[in-house]
Amino acid sequence: MKRSILVICLMSLIGYSSPAQTVAQWRGPNRDGIYPETGLLKSWPETGPVLLWHYDELGEGHSSAAVTADRIYINGELNGIGYLYSFDLDGKLLWKLPYGEEWTESWPGVRSTPLICDGKIYLMSGFGKVVCRKAENGDLIWTIDLLKEFNAPNIKWGVTENLLADGNKLFCTPGGPDANVIALDRNTGKLLWKCAAKGEASAYCSPAIFTHNNRRILVTQTASSILGIDAESGKFLWSVDQPNTWSVHANTPEYIDGSVYCVSGYGKGGVMLKLSADGNSVTETWRSTSIGNRMGGFVVLNGKIFGSDDSGKAWYCTDWKTGTDMYSGKVTGKGNIISAEGLLYLYGDNGEIVLAQPTPFDFGKISAFKVPFGTAQHWSHLVIKNGRLYVRHGNSLMVYDIRKK
């Protein structure tokens, strides 16, 4: 392990789920990859921004880190066991606790990013175990085995879901025949509602929740379908067919102005859905296979969708309303994408991180550097908070200074 003496804060995110909740979670405050940062560098030195510190003993995994006002939380797999780590803001390890068996088969390592909500940590393992712990000291509050409790199968690469809280609810997708999607009381772990939906297996999707004409709607994907569910009651509202080769739908949906965009890999691509006024039904507006990455997500800026394809041939800029491709380019390897201050941050599976300023005509690649530490695949999503860029590569967490001086 190496660390600097500089202080960081990774994620202190306010109000995605509810104005009363303080949440640190997957892909930023709104789970859309947009980070509300200002005062960031507009270009980087040739070797990349300054590396403040790195910690290299996390174990295997593809999850990102989450940080509150005074703690950093991240997980990793060591010898088949999942561990949750808590650091102070200087990178000092405060505690490391096992939470159970973790995935060691094809593509080994932890999958799901911790969710921090009002002093509690929520985490799902690759075997469907959900744990709730105190953020202060890691003490166990409750745990539930989703696969056992709801008669659900595990899936080819281990169940994966970046959990979502809304008020007192914690949403999960066990993929059981009659408890396909569920809401738990996030304080006790007790079942609040269950939705049979279409009874399909879970599909690696991290759900989104939004308010549409005063109605809270949860959208997620299971093996072959996009689902819309009333978030308060668990009522199944609608579904749209979205099958692909391996039933992998790992990208979080996004809602803007009455429409929901969902995208899947293995050649399936994306679909835009227009909700009815009451949210009880949807109609397809357009489909496109250009953006179709497997698990790298996308961002929407100024009415344009930015993301990569699934083959590594190109990144695309696609019009939100029409699905028309505005332009494409081989910016870096296929991968994940986030944004802050109107800039794009692309993390390719070739280990390159790119800073870009999109124009009406191209991605506007500005700077790039190679990730120097870590192991295995470059699949963990980037995080930006308080002028810092957080990069997880397997067993290593790296923290870069990207703030203007």
Residue 3 located in a structural domain: no
Residue 147 located in a structural domain: yes
> What is the tens place of the pLDDT at every residue in 324-376?
999 999 999 999 999 999 999 999 999 999 999 999 999 999 999 999 999 99
Residue 15 has pLDDT above 60, yes or no: no
**Residue 21, pLDDT score:** 58
Nearest to 62 by CA among 400, 375, 384: 375
Least confident of 64-78, 235-249, 282-296: 64-78
Residue 7 located in a structural domain: no
Give CA–CA dist 120/69, Å, rounded: 13
| Partners of 77 in beta bridges | 60, 82
Residue 2 located in a structural domain: no
Residue 157 located in a structural domain: yes
Q: For residue 41, how many other CB atoms are within 10 A of its CB? A: 21
| Partners of 274 in beta bridges | 259, 283
**Residue 147, pLDDT score:** 98
Residue 41 has pLDDT above 70, yes or no: yes
| Partners of 202 in beta bridges | 222
Residue 1 located in a structural domain: no
Q: Are 53 and 403 in contact (CB under 8 A)?
A: no
Residue 154 has pLDDT above 90, yes or no: yes
Q: Are 282 and 239 in contact (CB under 8 A)?
A: no
DSSP string, 346-400: EEETTSEEEEE---SSS--EEEEEE--S--S---SPPEEETTEEEEEETTEEEEE
Q: Which residue has the tokens 């005074």?
A: 70
Q: Which residue has the tokens 């965009």?
A: 261
Residue 25 has pLDDT above 60, yes or no: yes
State the residue range of the domain holding 159: 23-401
The residue with greater pLDDT, 43 or 20, is 43
> What are the tokens at 254?
């996004």
Q: Are 300 and 254 in contact (CB under 8 A)?
A: yes
Residue 27 region by backbone torsions, left for phi larger than 0, else alpha for psi between -120 and 50, else beta:
left
Average confidence (pLDDT) over 113-123:
97
**Residue 205, pLDDT score:** 98
> What is the tens place of the pLDDT at every residue in 172-206?
999 999 999 999 999 999 999 999 999 999 999 99
Average confidence (pLDDT) over 299-325:
97
Q: For residue 145, how many other CB atoms are within 10 A of its CB? A: 15
Residue 8 located in a structural domain: no
Residue 1 has pLDDT above 80, yes or no: no
**Residue 67, pLDDT score:** 79
Query: For the chain, what is the domain count?
Result: 1
Average confidence (pLDDT) over 101-129:
97
Give CA–CA dist 64/160, Å, rounded: 13
| Partners of 67 in beta bridges | 72
* CATH number reported for the structural domain that contains residue 268 in this entry: 2.130.10.10
Residue 256 located in a structural domain: yes
Residue 5 has pLDDT above 50, yes or no: no
